[in-house]
Structure formats: C-alpha cells, structure tokens
Structure 1
Amino acid sequence: METSAGNITIDLFHGSAPDTVANFVKLVKMGHYDGLHFHRVIQDFMIQGGCPHSKDPMSRRAGTGGPGWQIPCEPSALALKHDKPGVLSMANAGRNTGGSQFFLTTVPTPWLNGNHAVFGAVSEGM
C-alpha cells in the first residue's frame, strides 16, 4: 500500500478470510483505492480508508461510500483477534455490510473482536 507517509506492506489472510481477501484484491485491481485518503484517523485506535468519496479529503461524504455491493462477514475472519497494532479489518455499519472500507489498528482493540472481519496484518512500514 503506497501512502504519502511511505509504503505499508500487508500480509493478506487468504486461508482465514478468502472471500474478504478476494474482494479487497478485486478492488485493488480495479483501481478503487487509487488516490483515496484515510478519511478517519483516531490516535491510539485506528486509521480508516477505502471510501470512494475520500478522493477529496475535505468532502463531507468521506466515510459514507463503498463499491456498490456488500460482502458477508466470514465466521473464520470474525474469529481472528484485534490483538496488536497493524491488524487489517473490514469497516462496516453492521454485520454483512462490508464493501471497500477497511481499517488498520494502531493499538490492540479487543472490543472489535467478533464484529469486524480481520483479513490481514501489516508486516512492514507501520
């Protein structure tokens, strides 16, 4: 992942979250994430991106968009823990509403366990 602050290398969990990873990779190949900003940054919690409305960082719609479809939460991905910085998860507005928005934890966030599908982790650059 290329950012204005440097590159972030992500290991995707193909075995635990195959459908979520496939959705993410599809969006990457479509160029969905190109030029987007992290529209939600909360110190000592997480950074969130993936909203198509965030191309304009001043947009009031940033954080409200998606790819035009939703994916179900995979039980095996929900079983993975938000137990360290660098966990990659799907953002959602409730069960089975993930699409393109994702977040990276900056600290352990155990209260998110079972509510957000974990599908990767930062291996370098965070």
Structure 2
Amino acid sequence: MATAKIITEKGEMQVEFFEQDAPKTVANFIKLAKSGFYDGLTFHRVIPDFVIQGGCPDGTGAGGPGYTIPCELTGNNQYHDRGVLSMAHAGRDTGGSQFFICHSRKNTSHLDRHHTCFGKVVEGLDVIDQIRRGDKILKIEVSE
C-alpha cells in the first residue's frame, strides 16, 4: 500500500491512499509528487470547517499540470470525511493536480460521488486546522 507524507509549514500529515477505489487518481498524485510538482506550492483556498486546497502551480486555483484525468466515483471510499483527500476540478473529468483535504463531514457530504476521494490523512489531522491561505507545501514524500 502506497502512503505519503505531506510536509507543510505547519507540520506533517501522513496519508494512506485509496488505491482500490481510485487507482488512476492515486497514480497521478504519486507521479506529480515524485516529480516535485507540489514542492513549494501553496494552499490557495482555505475555507474553515470545509476544506484546504492546494496543487495549483500558479496559486490562483485555475492552474494544473497541463492535462486532465477522469473522475473515479464508484469505489467504497467515496465519502468526504475529516482528513479525506479529494481531487478538485472545474467539472466532471477535469481534475489534474489540485486536491483538497476535508476539515469535517458536516459540510462536505454534497461532494460525495462528485469529486474523487483518493486518500485520507491518518496522522497529523491537527495540521489541517492550522493551515491558512498561502501556507506552503514544502514537499510530498511517497512510500510505495
């Protein structure tokens, strides 16, 4: 099972991936992380009690890796609970590099089966609450 450590200015989050439910999304995220794509990018969107979002190379929320990937919405783990990593997009099958991490279940259930859940923070959940707009992703380290 692949895992990752998202190292931020506010601390580290250990992630386990949902490889069975979202294999293409997981593979894409791992490829980008290993290439250093995420290193130094910011969390450009932070909405308290909702999500923290990063992965935009231009910091505006409009950028991506230069390609899109399909949504994977049929797996068992497609529910946006606290700590879940999900692929951001501008419409179905338009995701690429931007992802978000959920603060809680309370305000995210409408995202279920509309955005691909591809992992979950299993250690460092407190870091999610500390992230503010503009905080950097220093590095994402993948273990396979």
Q: TM-score, normalised by structure 2?
A: 0.79
Corresponding residue for residue 90 of structure 2: 93
Unaligned residue ranges in structure 2 (runs of 5+):
1-5, 126-144
1:60-108 per-residue CA deviation (whole Å, 9 max, x = no partner) reads: xx111000000001233596111x2101000000000000000000011
Gaps of 5+ in 1: 55-61
Q: State the Cα RMSD in Å.
A: 1.3
Q: Using CA pairs under 8 Å that are at least 6 residues apart, name the structure with larger relative contact order, 1 or 2.
A: 2
So what's the TM-score if we normalise by structure 1? 0.90
Amino acid at match of 1:64: A
Where 1:23 maps in the other structure, the secondary structure is helix
Q: Greater strand share, 1 or 2?
A: 2
- Between Structure 1 and Structure 2, how many residues are aligned? 118
Partner deviation per Cα, 1:4-36 (whole Å, 9 max, x = no partner): 000001111111110000000000011110001
* Moved beyond 3 Å, runs of 4+: none
2:114 aligned with 1:115: yes
Distance in 1 of aligned mates of 2:101 and 2:29: 14
Counterpart AA for 2:111: L
